[in-house]
Structure 1
Protein backbone atom coordinates (compact mmCIF):
# COMPACT_ATOMS: atom_id res chain seq x y z
CA UNK A 1 0.00 0.00 0.00
CA UNK A 2 2.78 2.43 0.91
CA UNK A 3 4.68 1.53 -2.26
CA UNK A 4 1.61 2.28 -4.37
CA UNK A 5 1.09 5.65 -2.67
CA UNK A 6 4.75 6.52 -3.09
CA UNK A 7 4.61 5.51 -6.74
CA UNK A 8 1.49 7.60 -7.39
CA UNK A 9 3.03 10.59 -5.60
CA UNK A 10 6.21 10.27 -7.68
CA UNK A 11 4.18 10.05 -10.91
CA UNK A 12 2.23 13.13 -9.86
CA UNK A 13 5.45 15.04 -9.25
CA UNK A 14 6.80 14.03 -12.65
CA UNK A 15 3.58 15.17 -14.35
CA UNK A 16 3.71 18.48 -12.45
CA UNK A 17 7.34 19.04 -13.46
CA UNK A 18 6.45 18.30 -17.10
CA UNK A 19 3.61 20.84 -16.96
CA UNK A 20 5.85 23.46 -15.35
CA UNK A 21 8.47 22.95 -18.08
CA UNK A 22 5.83 23.64 -20.71
CA UNK A 23 4.64 26.80 -18.97
CA UNK A 24 8.07 28.33 -18.38
CA UNK A 25 9.02 30.44 -21.39
CA UNK A 26 12.61 30.67 -22.46
CA UNK A 27 14.04 34.00 -23.51
CA UNK A 28 17.09 34.28 -25.74
CA UNK A 29 19.41 37.18 -26.38
CA UNK A 30 19.97 38.56 -29.88
CA UNK A 31 22.95 36.35 -30.71
CA UNK A 32 21.12 33.21 -29.59
CA UNK A 33 18.06 34.26 -31.60
CA UNK A 34 20.24 34.70 -34.67
CA UNK A 35 21.54 31.14 -34.25
CA UNK A 36 18.03 29.72 -33.91
CA UNK A 37 16.86 31.57 -37.02
CA UNK A 38 20.02 30.78 -38.94
CA UNK A 39 20.75 34.41 -39.82
CA UNK A 40 24.02 36.31 -39.67
CA UNK A 41 22.87 39.92 -39.36
CA UNK A 42 21.27 41.78 -36.48
CA UNK A 43 19.68 44.00 -39.11
CA UNK A 44 17.49 41.09 -40.18
CA UNK A 45 16.12 40.68 -36.66
CA UNK A 46 15.43 44.42 -36.63
CA UNK A 47 13.51 44.05 -39.88
CA UNK A 48 11.46 41.20 -38.39
CA UNK A 49 10.58 43.48 -35.46
CA UNK A 50 9.66 46.40 -37.74
CA UNK A 51 7.49 44.14 -39.91
CA UNK A 52 5.75 42.74 -36.81
CA UNK A 53 6.96 39.20 -37.37
CA UNK A 54 8.89 39.15 -34.10
CA UNK A 55 8.43 40.90 -30.78
CA UNK A 56 11.29 41.90 -28.52
CA UNK A 57 10.79 41.62 -24.76
CA UNK A 58 12.72 43.18 -21.92
CA UNK A 59 11.76 40.90 -19.02
CA UNK A 60 14.96 40.91 -16.97
CA UNK A 61 16.77 44.10 -17.84
CA UNK A 62 16.82 46.78 -20.48
CA UNK A 63 18.25 44.33 -23.02
CA UNK A 64 16.19 42.77 -25.74
CA UNK A 65 15.15 39.16 -25.38
CA UNK A 66 13.16 36.97 -27.73
CA UNK A 67 10.81 34.13 -26.87
CA UNK A 68 12.11 30.80 -28.08
CA UNK A 69 8.61 29.67 -29.03
CA UNK A 70 8.17 32.67 -31.37
CA UNK A 71 11.58 32.09 -32.94
CA UNK A 72 10.73 28.44 -33.60
CA UNK A 73 7.44 29.45 -35.27
CA UNK A 74 9.30 31.84 -37.60
CA UNK A 75 11.90 29.19 -38.34
CA UNK A 76 9.26 26.60 -39.21
CA UNK A 77 7.61 28.99 -41.69
CA UNK A 78 10.85 29.50 -43.63
Structure 2
Protein backbone atom coordinates (compact mmCIF):
# COMPACT_ATOMS: atom_id res chain seq x y z
CA UNK A 1 0.00 0.00 0.00
CA UNK A 2 1.33 3.43 -0.91
CA UNK A 3 1.38 6.36 1.50
CA UNK A 4 1.57 8.92 -1.32
CA UNK A 5 -1.11 11.63 -1.07
CA UNK A 6 -2.75 11.54 -4.50
CA UNK A 7 -5.41 14.11 -3.70
CA UNK A 8 -3.08 17.10 -3.80
CA UNK A 9 -3.63 20.46 -2.17
CA UNK A 10 -4.77 23.96 -3.01
CA UNK A 11 -4.51 27.34 -1.33
CA UNK A 12 -7.60 28.87 0.26
CA UNK A 13 -6.73 32.33 1.49
CA UNK A 14 -3.52 31.81 3.42
CA UNK A 15 -4.12 28.10 4.15
CA UNK A 16 -3.00 25.01 2.30
CA UNK A 17 -5.98 22.68 2.09
CA UNK A 18 -6.18 19.08 0.89
CA UNK A 19 -8.40 18.60 -2.16
CA UNK A 20 -10.01 15.58 -0.55
CA UNK A 21 -12.36 16.82 2.14
CA UNK A 22 -15.28 15.64 4.22
CA UNK A 23 -18.87 16.55 3.30
CA UNK A 24 -20.68 17.29 6.56
CA UNK A 25 -24.25 17.15 5.23
CA UNK A 26 -25.02 13.76 6.80
CA UNK A 27 -24.04 14.96 10.30
CA UNK A 28 -27.36 16.79 10.69
CA UNK A 29 -30.62 15.07 11.53
CA UNK A 30 -32.97 13.23 9.17
CA UNK A 31 -33.31 14.96 5.81
CA UNK A 32 -30.39 17.23 6.81
CA UNK A 33 -32.64 19.11 9.28
CA UNK A 34 -32.27 19.37 13.03
CA UNK A 35 -29.67 17.91 15.33
CA UNK A 36 -28.09 14.52 14.68
CA UNK A 37 -29.76 11.44 16.15
CA UNK A 38 -26.54 10.67 18.02
CA UNK A 39 -24.50 13.78 18.89
CA UNK A 40 -21.58 11.72 20.20
CA UNK A 41 -21.40 9.65 17.03
CA UNK A 42 -21.42 12.79 14.89
CA UNK A 43 -18.49 14.19 16.87
CA UNK A 44 -16.67 10.85 16.61
CA UNK A 45 -17.01 10.95 12.81
CA UNK A 46 -15.57 14.47 12.70
CA UNK A 47 -12.68 13.54 14.98
CA UNK A 48 -11.88 10.47 12.89
CA UNK A 49 -11.91 12.52 9.67
CA UNK A 50 -9.39 14.94 11.19
CA UNK A 51 -7.30 12.06 12.57
CA UNK A 52 -7.15 10.63 9.04
CA UNK A 53 -5.71 13.92 7.76
CA UNK A 54 -8.80 15.75 6.51
CA UNK A 55 -8.38 19.51 6.87
CA UNK A 56 -11.23 20.61 4.59
CA UNK A 57 -14.77 20.10 5.91
CA UNK A 58 -17.49 21.11 3.47
CA UNK A 59 -20.50 22.50 5.29
CA UNK A 60 -23.41 24.87 4.85
CA UNK A 61 -25.66 26.93 7.11
CA UNK A 62 -28.51 25.10 5.37
CA UNK A 63 -27.64 21.78 7.01
CA UNK A 64 -29.57 21.66 10.22
CA UNK A 65 -29.86 24.72 9.77
CA UNK A 66 -26.52 25.69 11.31
CA UNK A 67 -26.20 22.28 13.02
CA UNK A 68 -23.07 21.11 11.20
CA UNK A 69 -21.29 24.42 11.79
CA UNK A 70 -22.01 24.18 15.52
CA UNK A 71 -20.76 20.58 15.67
CA UNK A 72 -17.48 21.56 14.03
CA UNK A 73 -16.80 24.41 16.43
TM-score (norm 1): 0.26
Bigger share in strand: 2
Bigger share in helix: 1
Larger radius of gyration: 1
